[in-house]
Amino acid sequence: PKEIFLKDYKLPDYYFQTVKLNFSLGEEKTIVCSEITVFPREEGIASPLVLDGQDLKLLSIKVNGKELKVEEYHLDSRHLTLLSLPRSTKFTLEIVTEIYPQNNTSLEGLYKSSGNFCTQCEAEGFRKITFYQDRPDIMAIYTCRIEADKTLYPVLLSNGNLIEKGDLEGGRHYAVWEDPFKKPCYLFALVAGQLESRDDTFITRSGRKVSLRIWTPAQDLAKTAHAMYSLKAAMKWDEDVFGLEYDLDLFNIVAVPDFNMGAMENKSLNIFNSKLVLASPETASDADYAAILGVIGHEYFHNWTGNRVTCRDWFQLSLKEGLTVFRDQEFSSDMGSRTVKRIADVSKLRSYQFPQDAGPMAHPVRPHSYIKMDNFYTVTVYEKGAEVVRMYKTLLGSHGFRKGMDLYFKRHDGQAVTCEDFFAAMCDANDANLSNFLSWYSQAGTPLVKVTSSYNAEARSYSLKFSQVVPPTRGQPVKEPMFIPVALGLLDSNGKDIPLSSVYHDGMLKSIEKNGEPIYTTVLQVKKKEEEFVFSDLSERPVPSLLRGFSAPVRLDSDLTDSDLFFLLAHDSDEFNRWEAGQVLARKLMLSLVADYQQNKPLVLNPKFVLGIKSILSDSSLDKEFIAKAITLPGEGEIMDLMEVADPDAVHAVRSFIRKQLAAELKAEFLKTVQNNRSSEAYVFNHSSMVRRALKNVALAYLASLEDMEFTELALHEYRSATNMTEQFAALAAIAQNPGKTRDDVLADFYSKWEHDYLVVNKWFALQAMSDIHGNVENVRNLLKHPAFDLRNPNKVYSLIGGFCGSPVNFHAKDGSGYKFLGEVVVQLDKLNPQVASRMVSAFSRWRRYDETRQKLAKGQLEMILSTNGLSENVFEIASKSLA
């Protein structure tokens, strides 16, 4: 397979101006005619025009109306090269192809989902529809005519505005859609099928009326109310916060059950994985409701950050994804709790991105190369990319960031641009010099920032010394220091923020007051390998609150003592750092117990930790969801990530021990928490109800971990009396922690209740797959044969196979049974859907982190996968890079 490099980017020799597509949809075959007006980049260009195309049957090619002779083009399995072209400034290209969407299990290009036609073109799926220059810097105006059987496919949708429709002979009908905005082909979309819509309208701030339609099969329509609410909220928010208005009179969303990703931002025709659209209180949890809000927002926000201004090439993916994730994070924060959202986002970054950044698949936010672009829709490009955007805002302030965004749109509307263009807009709009900030785009690896502090009582000064190291990653053995914004506050001995007026740095005393007002949080710019900042006029040693709000995606190693951390946990005005102090303490505690476990020492829980958890649990001044997050221990993956050699058994044993110990010692508090947070009100998705449910569910899980009859009964009671999925599923999960008849009965009961609802059944698969019950791989193997399971449906694969890989003890079982299971599934899955198979094979990528026995077993599976005939490029790339 061929590796593609950023450094090899070349401007296209030909651009496309208009594209007219005509689809004749059929059961046996679909005919696609395209008519493209082509113009050379410069007059006189005589090079061949190379079009991408895959799995297409070429029927004819015409240039300026004249059929090309066989010697005038070259066709292979990936390209159609037009060798002899007119030297005129503009010409017309007409291509007819035949495709077979009904056989397309890769779910890219045009395919069928539950009998309906739909498309997924990003990143490089358009080449499975017709021959085209399938690259984002080819932007054109599209018209799309769709014709199909009227009974089977009464609804025909594409991008833009419907300009014509009518009936045809033989029970067929057609529709013509015209999109007035230039777009790259990855934003093209088509949907045809039996769908109904929930309709609403949105009046933009300039008074335009936009029709909003959410399309699903008729039986699901009732579950689209929350998605519609989310869409309208997102449209309003983008106007309020960024001054960005929707630009067409129609916005369509279609929900389909078979979809590789979460959703897709096709111009005015977003296509969604149905799990991110459909919700009712009985079938969807609070987490589902929150995800729908965030992703509906995300896809909508792409209309400006991605569609109106797009990427020059796929290496720039984070230009649209990092920025749009940042925008959806901010949207969700504004709609709910900012601190809790930040905690959730940082936890995700630590659990998934940090490990990626430290493994063989580490890549910069802007990768330097790829074999399959699909493999780079990663937590690094998305989540670390969002952190990079957040750092601009931290450094420039809200107002400065908005000025930068405004300039970015002013300069680049209608263009395909690069990360440097975004950087330049931010700097130019603010007259800012962000020196080496761009290395966030080019250097992989999570920087490690060490901080040491010292207080000089005589000089009344307090010094913070920073040093940073960016660890080596594949292809990048040596790194430059990064530009790290460190938001900082200093606490006095009463736990109050000390007003900050100046800091001594680099031989200069710098004022940090703002218009004479004191500042309580300042942003230090750490740019060198080693740097010192000195604060003066301090009558006592302060306790520093470092990296407030997680102001940079780094690992922080400070010399804070446990007592400093307990102090911050109790007092920090930055709520994120209160949570963080608790997490640092928990991480330290867990690591030290893991060492004890490995040395066969008895496990003893530090009573101070129990007291800390108790005081949070009973602090009624705190937000309930904050409490829920603060009493949740760091995940097993996070702890393994901090070990020299990851030991899943020891980490699992320690985490379970602490959970049980806390449950036993704080039984009364947890029980009170469950009792006090019951409610007989009907389900509402609002902050106060959600946080109540979140806290109750965490407390219930603690109690049920005790395997005590009383609490199993309690969980059963909660399960039976629940009127919404959030509480019902949490009770089920609490019971399912412990093997036995009750677990089996309740799982069976849940299935029989919900077997008609595939989204709920997926939760049921995931819960069992993630179980840490000993030898669970056999249960998962059996579930593969369950009538509700289907390897062709990505959601089911993510639930069952992905869920299983998320259970460290079973996936990393020392007998290799988990690895063998995954190896077998990947080989099977790759034949159906390479994108999904390559996501699954990623679970092996950090095999070197484990002991020798596990290394050998995992490596054996990777080698077996690589030796499979006909392996996809997707899986090849991940498996071979994992072994390299």
Active site residues: 299
329-339 burial, b at 16+ Cβ within 10 Å, e below that, comes to: bbbbeebbbeb
308 bridge partner residues: none
Q: What is the DSSP letter of 272?
A: E
- On whether the CB atoms of residues 311 and 752 are closer than 8 A, the answer is no
Q: CA 790 from chain center: how many Å? A: 24
Distance between CA atoms of residues 435 and 426, nearest Å:
12
Part of the chain binding Zn ion (CB under 5 A), chosen from 30-38, 248-256, 313-321, 415-423:
313-321
Question: Which residue, among 807, 806, 805, has the nearest Cα to 861 in the 3D structure?
Answer: 805
Nearer to ligand BAL, 306 or 359 (CB): 306
Instruction: Sort 515 into a burial class: Cβ within 10 Å, 0-12 / 13-18 / 19+.
Output: exposed
Question: For helices 709-721 and 667-676, what crossing angle results, to 10°?
Answer: 10
The entry of ligand BAL, Zn ion, none that residue 526 binds, CB within 5 to 8 Å by partner kind: none
Residue 261 contact partner, candidates ligand BAL, Zn ion, none, CB within 5 to 8 A by sort of partner: ligand BAL
- Return the HEC string of 223-259: HHHHHHHHHHHHHHHHHHHHCCCCCCCEEEEEEECCC
134 binds, among Zn ion, ligand BAL, none (CB under 5 to 8 A by kind): none
Tell me which residues touch ligand BAL (CB under 6 A). 122, 261, 263-265, 298-299, 302, 321
Residue 186: CB minimum distance to Zn ion, A: 11
Minimum Å gap between C-beta 128 and ligand BAL is 17
* Residues forming a β-bridge with 500: 519
Stretch that binds Zn ion, among 311-319, 321-329, 343-351, 874-882 (CB under 5 A): 321-329
324-353 mask for Zn ion (x: CB under 5 A)? Answer: x-----------------------------
Q: Which residue's CB is nearer to ligand BAL, number 265 or number 580?
A: 265
Q: Please give the Cα distance from 291 to 228 (Å, whole number).
A: 14
Closest distance of CB 604 from Zn ion, Å: 47
Q: Which stretch binds Zn ion (CB under 5 A): 57-65, 315-323, 598-606, 639-647?
A: 315-323
Would you say 384 or 696 has its CB closer to ligand BAL?
Answer: 384
Whichever of 179 and 321 has its CB closer to Zn ion, that residue is: 321
Q: Please, what is the minimum distance in Å from the beta carbon of residue 306 to ligand BAL?
A: 7
Binding region for Zn ion (CB under 5 A) out of 16-24, 218-226, 318-326, 707-715:
318-326
d(CA 812, CA 361): 19
Q: Are strands 79-82 and 49-52 parallel, antiparallel or unpaired?
A: antiparallel
Please, which residue, 122 or 357, has the CB nearer to ligand BAL?
122
Q: Which is nearer to Zn ion, 307 or 468 (CB)?
A: 307
CB of 261: closest distance to ligand BAL in angstroms? 5
What is the H or E stretch that residue 50 is in?
strand 49-52
Q: Give the contacts of 644 (CB within 8 A, at least 6 positions apart).
A: none
DSSP string over 693-707 = HHHHHHHHHHHHTT-
Which range of residues in 316-324, 581-589, 637-645, 647-655 is near Zn ion by CB under 5 A?
316-324
Binding-site partner at residue 122 among ligand BAL, Zn ion, none, CB < 5 to 8 Å by type = ligand BAL
Contact (Cβ atoms closer than 8 angstroms) between residue 685 and residue 286? yes
Which residue, chain included where needed, has tokens 């599934």? 825
What CA–CA distance (Å, rounded) separates 111 from 103?
Answer: 8
Least separation, in Å, of the C-beta of 693 and ligand BAL? 28
Three-state secondary structure call for residue 158: strand
**Number of residues in contact with Zn ion under rule CB under 5 A:** 2
The closest alpha carbon to 157, from 179, 177, 130, 136, belongs to 177
Rounded Cα–Cα distance for residues 49 and 614 (Å): 69
Q: Which of residues 672-691 bind Zn ion (CB under 5 A)?
A: none
Binding positions for Zn ion, 390-419, rule CB under 5 A: none
Q: Which helix (H) or strand (E) segment is 95 a member of?
A: strand 91-99
Nearer to ligand BAL, 160 or 184 (CB): 184
Mask for 21-50, x = binds Zn ion (CB under 5 A): ------------------------------
Residue 571: name its binding partner from Zn ion, ligand BAL, none (Cβ under 5 to 8 Å by kind): none
Q: For Zn ion, which stretch binds (CB under 5 A), given 39-47, 151-159, 320-328, 754-762?
A: 320-328
Please, what is the minimum distance in Å from the beta carbon of residue 852 to ligand BAL?
A: 39
Partner touching 572 among ligand BAL, Zn ion, none, CB below 5 to 8 Å by kind = none
CA distance 524 to 464: 11
Closer residue to ligand BAL (CB): 128 or 298: 298
CB of 307 to Zn ion, least distance (A): 11
The residues that touch Zn ion, with contacts defined as CB under 5 A, are 321, 324
